[in-house]
Structure 1
Amino acid sequence: MKPNFKPQTDLQSIADFAIAHQAENDRFSAFIKEFNDEDIDAKVQELDALISPTISCTDCGNCCKSLMVCLNEQEADRLSSHLKMDRPSFDEQYLEKGSNGMMIMNQMPCHFLQDNKCTIYEYRFEGCKEFPALHLPHFKRRVFTTFMHYDRCPIIFNVVEQLKNEMNFERTQTQ
């Protein structure tokens, strides 16, 4: 990574770039599958550790505005208790339940997002804590999901673009 690296944080620029480079990103997804899992994980985690601190999630909040949040029974119990609500009332107000028992928040942006900040931060769900999940092992297993969020998360976008550079990936020439 260049010493004076300045991350791209403009969401419209990121979204436009993602559209213009879809074929390149598809090629990159295939390209990284040829590399050793541990090497890819180490490089992604290194870039994440360098890039994440340079980007303020509360300046963006786009994940909370545009992603479906899944939660489990324990998380729902914990948050409903914190909110001093009984579970049926909590479920009715905040959740959608699938026939398979899966639960998701019933609104985007998230009910608990205010001024790009989580109002229940200490009680947030595991998926929220993990996102964008670049610090976790098995990056290659999550490439599809990573690219689903590439156009909306400045951290993912910048890590992937730097990863392309570090791996000497042959980029598509654009006009």
Structure 2
Amino acid sequence: MKTPFEPQTDLKAISDFANQHQAENDRFSAFLKEFNDEAIDAKVQELDALISPTISCTDCGNCCKSLMVCLNEEEANNLSTHLKMDRPSFDQQYLEKGSNGMMIMNQMPCHFLQNNKCTVYEYRFEGCKEFPALHLPHFKRRVFTTFMHYDRCPIIFNVVEQLKIEMNFEGSLPNH
């Protein structure tokens, strides 16, 4: 495994590694439950601060290519106004609405991704701003979601792999 200063960014290698280490990652998720929430948050945030600057999101753009993006009314209003579109036209062109009123972008990759860059960056949605959410508290509550994205986000992948090392996790050994 590479150090935080030499992160793994090859998406195929990350995906292959994730597939080969699913059982290990399941054990690591369980292992994390044994630790204090604040201590885990501090370690994850420390690693995120070290690793994130070494990875260029615009070299990858995989989150914008492969994630369903949820948005709320205010975000849809802001972006439709920015695009000089009325909301019904904006909704028809860009959104799907669930029966519960939840709105998601109706296409992957995102309509607004060009050359791995967001063309509406200042108006992007909260979920886009927060991703990969490693800087936020309550990491242990998001472990399942984190591992859902582990195979597609180099930042998440590298933070998790470094976290295993720093926590002396013996992932390759079966539990006794």
TM-score interval, normalised by the smaller of the two chains:
over 0.9
Distance 2:4 2:10 in 1: 18
Provide closer, same or farther for how the CA distance between residues 56 and 172 of structure 1 changes in structure 2, counting only shifts above 3 A. Answer: same
Q: CA RMSD in A?
A: 1.2
2:17: which partner in 1? 17
Who is 2:121 aligned against?
121
Q: Distance in 2 between matches of 1:130 and 1:3?
A: 24
- The separation in 2 between residues aligned to 1:171 and 1:24, in whole angstroms, is 5
- Sequence identity of aligned pairs in percent? 88
Write the letter of the residue equivalent to 1:70: C
Please report the TM-score for the alignment, with normalisation by the length of structure 2: 0.96
User: Counterpart of 2:47 in 1: which secondary structure?
Assistant: helix
The answer to whether structure 1 residue 47 and structure 2 residue 47 are counterparts is: yes
TM-score, L = length of structure 1: 0.96
TM-superposed deviation, 1:171: 2.3
1:154 to 2:135 alignment: no
SS in 1 for 2:96: strand
2:121 maps to a residue whose letter is: Y
**Matched length:** 172
- Aligned residue identity for 1:21: H
Q: Take 1:108 and 1:93, find their aligned partners in 2: how far apart are those partners? A: 13
Instruction: Look up the equivalent residue of 2:55 and give its one-letter code.
Output: I
Matches within 5 A, 1:62-81: 62-81=62-81
Shift of 1:172: 1.2
Gaps of 5+ in 1: none
Q: CA deviation at 1:5?
A: 3.3
Cα distance, 1:97–1:4 mapped onto 2, change above 3 Å: closer
In structure 1, distance between residues paired with 2:44 and 2:4: 19
SS of 1:104's equivalent in the other structure is: strand
After the TM superposition, list the runs of 4 or more consecutive aligned residues in structure 1 that deviate by more than 4 angstroms: none
Amino acid in the other structure paired with 1:49: A
